[in-house]
Amino acid sequence: MQDYNFNEYFDRFPLAMAYVPWQHLTQIYEDLDKAYCTGTIFPELTKPFTGRRCVK
Amino acid sequence: MWNYEKRLQFPVKITQPNAKLAQVIISQFGGPDGELAASMRYLSQRYTMPYNEVAGLLTDIGTEELAHMEMISAIVYQLTKNLSMEEIEASGFDKYYVDHTLGLWPQSAGGVPFNACVFQSKGDAITDLVEDMAAEQKARSTYDNILRLVHDQEVCDPIRFLRAREIVHFQRFGEGLRIVQDKLDSKNFYAFNPEFDRCKE
Amino acid sequence: MSGRMNSEQENMLRNIGIVDFVTVEMTEYLDTHPFDREAMEYFNHYMRMKNQMMRDYAAKYGPLSLSVADTCSKEWKWALQPMPWEGGC
């Protein structure tokens, strides 16, 4: 069991709460047709599914 | 209020009928983690959200989910449009057909009718946003499950689009929760409910 | 499935879909980043583009929304055109 000793974060991220990091406008797909097919204009939010069961 | 644009958010052009797939995909219409549930959840929660940016987010995402419901309905419609009686009988789709013919009716793949019990609107800003983040993950998981069953590119393309939207929405609701946190006391986020309590002590 | 659309119409419709999608993505980003000037400019650019494309499409093929429904024509195209779930997109 890992115990991250991120002391410096305790002030900014108190316990018993969920935190999603802020997205910044760093990258937008130049090819908007590709973005459309992907389902987002943001490469950072592109998380495709590649799972397979692979049990005979 | 709402306007309507006479087009789907993403194209649905299915040429090959498939009753078995339609029975599964209908869960994203009327099922517990489907688009109708998502839309009703967010559009219900927005009224008492005390922060305009978050109420705006609930409205905009709730509206987009209606467009997704329309895409799922179009997929089911096109998958069942030209089925023969033999295909209806052989696929098990006869159980749905007897009550609805080929009409679209919001139910889960298991036949549970759509109902408000599949979502919550708790009237607490933190609770509702965490509910919304969970909802987006449940929808994403459901699309993962559908993608394992689908081999037809015509069906995969709109399904992959819809799955990607869930991940973006999760990020947005997460940011909405950060906004709510900023407005509350970080020493104790749960001291009071900003949607209800008028005084803190 | 409703194969009555020619490829120019299909292309115009798809391009409207792409540009509108950009505005939807930016709208949701701006809801949580309401002071991001660059995002607002990006949104404005694509929203203006979309509005023009909607007008151009309506002039050739009929309205996609009531705000571009032309009341001077002989028929109520809004109701008579095929519905989007028929496969024309």
SS3 of residue A26 by DSSP: coil
Mean local confidence (pLDDT), A41-47: 98
Q: How confident is the model at residue B18 (pLDDT cuts 50, 70, 90)?
A: very high
pLDDT, position A1: 54
Q: Is the per-residue pLDDT at A6 higher than 70?
A: no
**A1–chain B nearest CA distance, Å:** 25
pLDDT, position C5: 74
Residue of B nearest to A17 (CA): B189
Q: How confident is the model at residue A13 (pLDDT cuts 50, 70, 90)?
A: very high
pLDDT, position B10: 98
**C20: contact with A, CB 8 A cutoff:** no
Phi, psi of A31, rounded to the nearest 5 degrees: -85, 100
Distance (Å, whole) CA B94 – CA C23: 42
Neighbours of chain B (3+ CB pairs under 8 A): A, C
CB atoms B164 and A16 under 8 Å: no
Q: Is the per-residue pLDDT at A41 higher than 60?
A: yes
Q: Which two tokens stand for residue C12?
A: 């115009």
CB atoms C25 and A42 under 8 Å: yes
Distance (Å, whole) CA B91 – CA B95: 10
pLDDT, position C38: 97
Establish whether this prediction's ipTM goes over 0.85: yes
Residues of A in contact with C38 (CB under 8 A): 25
Burial of B2 (0-12, 13-18, 19+ CB in 10 A): exposed
Q: Is the per-residue pLDDT at C65 higher than 70?
A: yes
The pLDDT > 90 percentage for chain B reads 98
Mutate to test the interface with C, among A41, A42, A44, A45 (most CBs of C within 10 A): A41
Residue C34 near residue C72, CB atoms below 8 Å: no
The pLDDT > 70 percentage for chain A reads 84
Residue linked to tokens 């391009």: C15
Return the higher-pLDDT residue of A6 and C23. Answer: C23
pLDDT digits (tens, 9 = 90+) for B68-106: 999 999 999 999 999 999 999 999 999 999 999 999 999
CB atoms B161 and A37 under 8 Å: yes
Q: How confident is the model at residue C2 (pLDDT cuts 50, 70, 90)?
A: very low
**A36–chain C nearest CA distance, Å:** 6
**C74–chain A nearest CA distance, Å:** 36
CB atoms A40 and C25 under 8 Å: yes
Residues of C in contact with B46 (CB under 8 A): none
Distance (Å, whole) CA C65 – CA C51: 11
Distance (Å, whole) CA B156 – CA B8: 16
**B10: contact with A, CB 8 A cutoff:** yes
Residues of B in contact with A53 (CB under 8 A): 148
Mean local confidence (pLDDT), B100-129: 98
Nearest CB to C22 within list A23, A25, A41 = A41
Residue of A nearest to B161 (CA): A39
pLDDT, position C70: 81
Instruction: Report DSSP state, residue A11.
Output: T
Residues of B in contact with C87 (CB under 8 A): 12-14, 78
**DSSP letters spanning chain B:** -----SS-SS-----S--HHHHHHHTHHHHSTTSHHHHHHHHHHHGGG--SHHHHHHHHHHHHHHHHHHHHHHHHHHHHHTT--HHHHHHHTTHHHHHHHTT----B-TT-PBP-GGG----S-HHHHHHHHHHHHHHHHHHHHHHHHH---HHHHHHHHHHHHHHHHHHHHHHHHHHHHHHHS-TT-TTSS-TTT-SS--
Q: How confident is the model at residue A11 (pLDDT cuts 50, 70, 90)?
A: confident
Name which of B51, B95, B77, B66 is nearest B4 in CA terms: B66
Mean local confidence (pLDDT), A34-40: 98
Neighbours of A23 (CB within 10 A): 17
Q: Is the per-residue pLDDT at C75 higher than 70?
A: yes
Residue B20 near residue B14, CB atoms below 8 Å: no
